[in-house]
Every structure is written in structure tokens, then in C-alpha cells.
Amino acid sequence: MPQEAYNYDTDQQNQRTHCEFSTTLMGTACEGPGEVRYAGVCVCVNHALLLALEERTNTLMSVVLSLDRLVEAPDPRADDLRLPRLKHQIREAEYQLRFSRLELDLARMQT
Ligand SMILES: [Zn+2]
């Protein structure tokens, strides 16, 4: 192998970073390559997916809570279809939340 090619490979390996996710469920540091930048942190693909799913799940929980509050606080100016629409949106958000939690559980088992 030519010397230049060897140095190039070595330099690339030295520049690679490890995943900066703090610890896995096993209590050890992730040793995956830091291939993805997520929220300013260099993490492996699996941890980037996990973080994205956690964020999505938290957002969906906030949506469900916000919609619940709207249902509990009737608006006298609203039309007759407001309540059925809100209840439909809550059911849809709850369905998405259940699916997101399932995806999150699966992602946690893989990391
Ligand atoms: Zn990782």
C-alpha cells in the first residue's frame, strides 16, 4: 500500500469521533461512531433515532394534553362541531402517541 494512502486512512480514522450519548441502558458508554449531529451533539445513528423518537413522543404528549384542556374549557363562541373535532384530534394524537411509544421502546432495546 502506498504510504500516502495509508496516512490518509489513518487521518480519517483519527478524525472519527465516538458517539457522545452519555450512557446506554447497560450503564456503559456507547462505542458507536459519531456519525450524526443531533442538537449539537455527535451521536451514532441508533442514538440519533432514539433522541428523535423521544422528542416526537414528548411533543405528542404535549399535543394530547393541550387538546384535553381545550375540551375541558368550553368556548361559548365555538360552533357545534368544535367538540367532535377536538375529540377526533385527541383520538388521532393518542393513536400516534401509542405508536411513537412503541417505536421508542423498540429503539431503546436496540441501543
Ligand atoms: Zn450511540
Structural domain harbouring 32: 3-110
Please give the distance, rounded to the nearest whole angstrom, from the Cα atom of residue 22 to the centre of ligand 1: 8
**Cα–Cα–Cα angle for 14, 108, 55, nearest 5°?**
90
Per the prediction, the chain carries an average pLDDT of 83
Please give the distance, rounded to the nearest whole angstrom, from the Cα atom of residue 42 to the centre of ligand 1: 9
Please give the distance, rounded to the nearest whole angstrom, from the Cα atom of residue 84 to the centre of ligand 1: 43
Please give the distance, rounded to the nearest whole angstrom, from the Cα atom of residue 100 to the centre of ligand 1: 20
- Report if pTM > 0.85: no
Mind listing the pLDDT tens digit for each residue in 75-110? 778 788 888 999 999 999 999 999 999 999 999 888
Number of domains in the chain: 1
What's the mean pLDDT in 3-11?
A: 45
Count of positions (residues) in the chain: 111
Contact 29, 73 (CB under 8 A): no
Between residues 86 and 4, the one the model is more confident about:
86
Other Cβ atoms closer than 10 A to 43? 25
